[in-house]
Amino acid sequence: MTAYGNFPGSRPRRLRTTPAMRRMVAETRLDPANLILPAFVREGIDAPVAISAMPGVHQHTLDTLRKAAVEAVSAGVSGIMLFGVPEDAKKDARGTAGTDPDGILQAGLRAVREEVGDDLVVMSDLCLDEYTDHGHCGVLDGDGRVDNDATLERYAEMAQVQADAGAHVVGPSGMMDGQVGVVRDALDQTGYEDVSILAYTVKYSSAFYGPFREAVGSSLTGDRKTYQQDPANARESLRELALDLEEGADMVMVKPAGPYLDILAKVAESVDVPVAAYQISGEYAMIEAAAERGWIDRERAILESLTGIRRAGAQMILTYWATEAAQWLGRDARR
């Protein structure tokens, strides 16, 4: 046989011969503990409501949210990220329902903590978009623009209310300048030094958020391009990263995940804090739609997408498949 370089002496296929061999030499491991379940809890419903653009995902009642939390714990999932969906009549220009101690997100936080205690890391989305009648992530000024500094005052109030309700972690996601520092100060000044901040550090203005808008009943007018990042930019992400770390972020996130694996890798290489990535609604919907049509193997595609995010550097992955994927991983580990 003719020799080409190190061939035939070097044969990489030797390390791919059996499932056991492939497991042994795998460079990346995906574990249930890497997964976080995003969940929507909706006010004023007595049964779960299906989200048409996200097959298999529902807006929960408090009771079904409790059950979802228990299922996540049983599967080995590490965390749950809660989003509140208030009644439309309670939305206003300042998103006051978001700081109501009895508001739906706070009720959801209390329900999950009562049900699973510390067996699940209970996280809360800290943003105004679900609660404003205009759908933006902050307070608007007289010209209809998002007022960064006025919004920070509202975020400080939200942080305290969410911590009061039992959040282990708050996730400021509005992409306001200075949001992490303001939230950290608000928590520390009210006795919540142990509540962590998962900063939505790198959050792009993405078309892939589309199904999420239905999930939270968003009433957005216009777009969020003046505060979310331009998909064309990479270096800007490292600037946002440096600022969030200076302000006290305990963990950082890249969102979306799949289209931005290059950014995720840059972030993971640059920090010594845990890194999360959010596999968002559009990423979920694309795989579900293709699988429903028989174009791809659903389970393999889901696990491959999660492995890719993990390989790029995410220690934690927020995914709507968290519980199901964790169950698959547990099954495979027992084989």
Q: Could you give the residue numbers annotated as active site? A: 203, 255
Cβ contact 75:31 at 8 Å: no
- Name every residue whose Cβ is closer than 8 Å to that of residue 156 and which is 6 or more positions away in sequence: 182, 183, 185, 186
In 3D, which of 150, 126, 129 has the Cα closest to residue 139? 150
- In the three-class reduction of DSSP (H, G, I as helix; E, B as strand; rest coil), residue 183 is classed as helix
H-only helix segments in 2-103: 19-25, 62-75
- Name every residue whose Cβ is closer than 8 Å to that of residue 261 and which is 6 or more positions away in sequence: 308, 309, 312
d(CA 252, CA 243): 11
What single-letter DSSP state applies at residue 262?
H
In 3D, which of 314, 186, 177 has the Cα closest to residue 240? 177
- Name every residue whose Cβ is closer than 8 Å to that of residue 75 and which is 6 or more positions away in sequence: 32, 322, 323, 326, 327, 330
Instruction: Measure CA 214 to chain center.
Output: 16
In 3D, which of 246, 237, 239 has the Cα closest to residue 273? 246
d(CA 263, CA 208): 16
In 3D, which of 211, 219, 190, 233 has the Cα closest to residue 288? 211
In 3D, which of 34, 91, 80 has the Cα closest to residue 221? 91
